[in-house]
Structure 1
Amino acid sequence: MSGRMWYGWSANDNIRETAASGGLVTGLLLSLLSSEMVDAVCALKRGDDLYDPRPVLVTSPEEIQECAGSMFCGSILTADWVLGASEANPGIKIAAVVKGCDAKVIYELIKRNKLDRDDLFLIGLNCSGTFSPVQTRTFIREVCGMNPDSVDSFLIRDGRVVVRSGDITKEYPLENIEERGFGRRDSCRRCDTPIPRQCDIVCGTWGLYGENSDRATFVEVCTDKGLDFLSQAEKNGHITLVPANPGGVKARSRVEAAMLTISEKNRKEMFAKTGSGMERLTWIMEETSRCIKCYQCSHACPLCICQDCQTKKPWLVKPGEVPPPLMFHLIRFSHIADSCVNCGQCQDRCAMDIPVSLMMHALQDELEKMFGYHPGRPEGMPILAKVNQHEEWEHHYENSYQKMIRLFSQKVADTEDIKGE
């Protein structure tokens, strides 16, 4: 087997008919579990309805088919479940089906010695973004004129939202419904990772062409490990692969470029609303004045993992004061902003509708321009967030604290040299 881009589907006719996009991912997961290449699979399954995705850890091949299908509602991070399973079962090998934000979180946790990359088989999914379940129900009821409970499927395809209920299908340009406030979550609209190539393979529907356009998956191989388990799945008879159509490869590139262009435009517009300098600080102070210090932003953040939370130290943040002083938020910004992957979990969970994710992402963007670190990619190490927290660096990096200090100092020196030129 050679080549890096393929069309694939499940070799099981029943799976190919019932699973999404020909059941390629389902076939891969069956192969990985059946061959004992992994001990468990972390994926999403449908809960009470299509607006209710639920993360599961599956250890039996018989349960894999329950995870088949695409879900566009909700904002679940499978990365949290991967971390929980790894901490509870050191050395466990996990195949994880992940979006771009999941993949970025996983790499940030690897850099913090919380996960071992060798134990992970990462199957990435092309992602156009996810939708709020509450807003989606409202959209279906008010715009589509349908009963949300009777809808059979809700998905994004070719830049259009497609809603199906029985024999009725309605389609809307994604851009149009976002102008009406019913679109993707804000963090998804800013996302710069529609194809998470930090995974071992990436799967999706972009680039399907001709006779394979309806019941197949486009697969891009990103690592040697990905090539190995893809080849093994084909050899075991779980999947069928054919080389990707060259026209489909070009079409996929065009879709990715279009998604990135839209995301960049959205980032600029959203970041512009935050202002700069004192204007931004004033905006942050006004928005955070609604904070009730429920700690949901900290609990939701997959990278807020300090063992001894600085925001709970009374000499930094006065206990019982609501809203808390600005120091509460500044501590979170200083600990997380350089590594924020824009997953949006903090904002989704905020009871007071504070645009926490936008604040964090805007600060991360500024730090990236200053220091060159892009969070969530395999290369590089986080620089700024905990450089003043010696005990936390020791906890995460053991004896590498001095190395990190030198790296940070060099970045500062380089920045000053540039300013002086």
Structure 2
Amino acid sequence: MDSSKFRRTTARRTLAYISTLGSTQLHLRNPFVIAAWSVAFPGMGHLLLSKYLRGFVLFLWEVYINYKAHINLLILYSCIGDFEKAKQVTDIQWMSLYIPTYIFSIWDSYRTTVDLNNEYILAKREDADINSFTLNFIEINYLDKRNPWVSATWSLLIPGSGQLYIHRLITAFFLIAWWIIISFNSKLLPAAHYTAMGDFNSVKSILNMQWFLNIPSVYFFAMYDAYVNTVENNKLFDWEQSKFLKKTYQFTSFNMPSKNDESGAKMHIVSTFDHCIYLELAITEIEETGIKKENILAIPMDKKNDDIKLFDSIHNSDGLSLLDLPAILAVIFGIFGGIYGFVLKWGPFLWGLIAILTGIILGLIIKLILIKKSNHENQKKGTEVVLIIECNETELDMIKSILWSNKALGVSSLSINKN
């Protein structure tokens, strides 16, 4: 019997899975950052890992058990020194259920991150192909490059909308729903209104602090999750397109420009591109003019691994998130700003905003100090793909026009002078 019939036809591990509901991928993560989000709100660390079922269960558990045990009120009164009130509001029975699962959430998110980092290394070595486009009767999803700062900005305006921007529909709907629930129960919008009017006593009287102290965690988690996943989606797009170009447009028969070429009738056009959809549009349009695949050479450029870029962009994403520490400090400072704002003149809403801004600025300063070794040269964006096309002299202007119209960074023609 032919044993080849029983061989695997699919990869054992893949780096990503693209479905109509979203894109799930493996990438390296810092276990301490993931654990820190689980400290802020159980379930969030697992959601960052795309462990949705476990993350949703722990998130709902946190909301329900925290509410029944009055954990947030316990924190509030303990921090302002009213320990008798803290004892009175706490439900000991529910709190006994709360603590073990809270610790499990932190431990399990850390452990899972370590495991998934190892799985990522193995999947990267296996280097299996992925399907970058999916379509069915209700939705379309595809790999594309998007700006991480646009994701972060939309999430700051409407938590969950940054996830919609990058097509993480499950997380987006979950965050939007819970942002509405938490904002409504905490009386966030009326508190914002009274704060703007300067009526700080009304703010203190209407805010439900049990719900209000959840807001910094949910708000900045939505921003951080959208930002990080946009960065990783961009890197995944570059990787997938590089594999496609190497497989499809690197024929050994390609006639490289050479002074030993005796044909004398051929021209070579050299152009440079970023990794983007316009690169593939340019190549396929050139093929439609009659240029064969064998006459097109695409060379994805390797990126220097030790470059540290301070700001991720649509084309430069090194995976070193500038926002991890600022987001975590914003959550911590925001919670304590709301707590002490409960007894200070300006109220929890305004002091929460002041504390959040302080946490973000402090986090940015620390991050910038930690990566100070990054210099101006390391931040320059280099060419990502070099495209060489062999054609006749009569086709030169047409192909150049196609390249320029599809956002080529540079285009030049090469003709060997045989003297």
TM-score (norm 2): 0.24
Which one has a larger percent helix, Structure 1 or Structure 2? 2
Which one has a larger percent strand, Structure 1 or Structure 2? 1
TM-score (norm 1): 0.24
